[in-house]
Amino acid sequence: MIGGGLAGLAAALAVERRGLSCRVLEASDGVGGRARTDVTPDGFLLDRGFAIALSSYPEQRAVLASAPLLRPPSGPAADAARRDDAAASAPGFPPLWAMLSGGGVGGSIAELRLRPFFSGAYVRTQAATGADGAPAGASSWSCVADPLRHPAEAVASLSPSHPVGSVLDKVRIGVLRLAAASRDWDALRSAGDQDGAAEAALLAGPTSSLLAAASRPGSAGSGGADPTPLGPFDASMVDRFLRPFLGGIFFDRSLGTASRLTLFVFRALQGGLNCLPAAGIGALAAAVEGRLREGTVTTGWRASGLAAGRGEDDGAVWTVSEAGGRAAVRARAVVVATEGPTAARLLRAAAGVAPDGEVGGPADGGGGADADVLALAARAARPGVGGVTVYFAADALTVAESKLPLYAEPVLWLNGSGHLAADDASAAGDGGLDDPTWGAAGWSGAVINHACCPSAVAPTYAPAGSALLSLSLAAVPTGLDDAALSTLCLAQADRWWPEARPSARWRLLSIVRTPYAQPPQRAGDGGVEAPARVAGLAADAPPLLVAGDHASAATHDGALRSGRRAGEAAAEALLK
């Protein structure tokens, strides 16, 4: 396996379960890839970008149930487990609603120690500007809650004066969730596997078409194709809640993401809880790695070349060479499980084509590499979407003195004023996130799409008494260095939570920039699940498989599933 993210680890587990041996070659100094957690010297857990663990993802249950844990977590993860035991024995933990709502944090995923978020969000809205340029109204927080899990909060949000969506909108969201709940997981994940036409229609429509126009007769994803009986949502629902919420999940505030992925997410939200693992988001990768044989994973090994040849017994083998030509590993089958752009380079190398060569062009070397493998490489090479997470710490004294909900409530704080654009931004500097110039030097408007206090969800994210704050930007701004970005975030945090005095009291811990957070997943980007076995190589080439979120859906579930499928296909080919 080239790559030790969730996909590469799941592939290795599938291979080992069939009695074969394998190696995972990982370029960095640890496993997990984009789903990894760093521990600061003073004990904060910093995920490699803010992410949520969904308890309902079926693949994580299946993968963890498929094999016993061979090595319990050690080091910081073991320490987090110890601290989690202490937190879990505190009165009122876990919260009663989480136990009653059946979020399913037990069973095979109990070892992840998932700690739930409040099922809903606080949404920052700003009253509309008055006529003829009158100043923007005051900004405030409003709660949007899941009626099944938090009925009291949900009833309050049904008031006609609630700023986020109409009453009908909330009914529509409920209908969308129920419609998603009735969908088959596999049908949602694999284009055309089952019920092909309907799924293809859903992939054709962006999220916005699903949300805004799905009930229009004859529209894509409506009527016979999509049973979701939704009407157009009020703009206050789209801009204030759906845009920051789904835009944060998909790193695309334009809501251009394929609507089927949105249904998939609604399906996941319907069936389980949004959580953080006590040892950080990297706990899932650690749990899969802990099921692999000792010595399977080699870190610090960056693959740069991949060439088919003959082994000592004259059997077909791949030779994977390390960057700089330092080392080479031979394997009877290879799973490429890196992020898309690196996978594209390795696939082209495997096909004997120079990185930028055309099929049949001079760089092809006249080898006539098949269009199949190059099409797969071209798909993997597409630039992804990115985001930034800025982490701050509030010390124990600050947290104890202030007694603010910010440090105590396990809730997501959403920027629902961003799209209400330029007027609001000029009046109060609290909007304009969708202004195409945001991120430029001199920008003073909003930068935060969503925020949370991870230590309020899982206390292990911060040393005892102190708090971790996580502020997420739904794009990677160019031209802003860390100092400028931190200042902008603090300025917005000062407006959002003035009592916390963030500029004065918070300490910058880290800025995590992830230019390739997810592959492109816009409507029309094509089937999300690539075939595991790469076709179109020379007839005597050994099996080559591709896995990862670019070959599936960009979720923990999608990465694990594509890895497992690739591992199974590799084992099957070798055992034939």
Ligand X SMILES: Cc1cc2nc3c(=O)[nH]c(=O)nc-3n(C[C@H](O)[C@H](O)[C@H](O)COP(=O)(O)OP(=O)(O)OC[C@H]3O[C@@H](n4cnc5c(N)ncnc54)[C@H](O)[C@@H]3O)c2cc1C
Would you put residue 427 in left (φ > 0), alpha (ψ -120 to 50) or beta? alpha
Show the CA angle centred on residue 247, arms to residues 457 and 180, nearest 5°.
Answer: 80
**DSSP structural state of residue 359:** T
Among 239, 339, 423, 434, binds ligand X (CB under 6 A): 339
Counting contacts by CB under 6 A, is residue 61 touching ligand X?
A: no
Of 230 and 485, CB closest to ligand X: 485
Output the furthest CA–CA distance in the chain (Å, rounded). 82
Give the binding-site size for ligand X (rule: CB under 6 A): 33
Counting contacts by CB under 6 A, is residue 350 touching ligand X?
A: no
DSSP string, 392-412: EEE-HHHHHHH--HHHH---E
Distance CA 463, CA 467 (A): 8
Among 17, 61, 216, 302, binds ligand X (CB under 6 A): 302
Counting contacts by CB under 6 A, is residue 445 touching ligand X?
A: no
In our burial notation (b when 16+ CB lie closer than 10 A, e otherwise), range 448-480 reads bbbbbbbbbbbbbbbbeebbbbbbbbbbbbeeb
Strand pairing report for 412-415 and 450-452:
antiparallel
Counting contacts by CB under 6 A, is residue 282 touching ligand X?
A: no
Of 101 and 514, CB closest to ligand X: 514
Looking at the DSSP bridge assignments, the partners of residue 124 are 141, 415
Among 342, 455, 460, 470, binds ligand X (CB under 6 A): 342
Counting contacts by CB under 6 A, is residue 4 touching ligand X?
A: yes
Q: Quick check: 338 and 548 in contact, CB under 8 A?
A: yes
Give the binding range for ligand X (CB under 6 A) out of 217-225, 231-239, 333-341, 520-528.
Answer: 333-341
Q: CB of residue 550 vs ligand X: minimum separation in angstroms?
A: 7
Of 7 and 377, CB closest to ligand X: 7
Separation in Å, CA 436 to CA 177, 253, 417, 418, 426:
32, 12, 16, 12, 15
Distance CA 545, CA 210 (A): 33
Give the binding range for ligand X (CB under 6 A) out of 372-380, 400-408, 453-461, 514-522.
Answer: 514-522
In the region spanning residues 362 to 401, those forming contacts with ligand X, defined by CB under 6 A, are 387
Q: What are the DSSP E strand ranges found in 278-368? A: 297-298, 303-310, 316-322, 328-331, 334-336
In the region spanning residues 26 to 55, those forming contacts with ligand X, defined by CB under 6 A, are 26-28, 33-35, 49, 51-52
Among 288, 458, 555, 565, binds ligand X (CB under 6 A): 555
Q: How many C-beta atoms lie closer than 10 Å to residue 321's C-beta?
A: 16
Give the binding range for ligand X (CB under 6 A) out of 24-32, 63-71, 77-85, 461-469.
Answer: 24-32
Among 220, 473, 517, 570, binds ligand X (CB under 6 A): 517
Give the binding range for ligand X (CB under 6 A) out of 87-95, 157-165, 337-345, 396-404.
Answer: 337-345
Counting contacts by CB under 6 A, is residue 56 touching ligand X?
A: no
Among 230, 273, 288, 303, binds ligand X (CB under 6 A): 303
Q: CB of residue 104 vs ligand X: minimum separation in angstroms?
A: 16
Those residues whose C-beta lies under 8 Å from the C-beta of residue 496, and which sit 6 or more positions away, are 124, 413, 448, 451
Enumerate binding residues for ligand X (CB under 6 A).
Answer: 2-8, 25-28, 33-35, 49, 51-52, 302-303, 337-339, 342, 387, 514, 517-518, 548-549, 554-556, 559
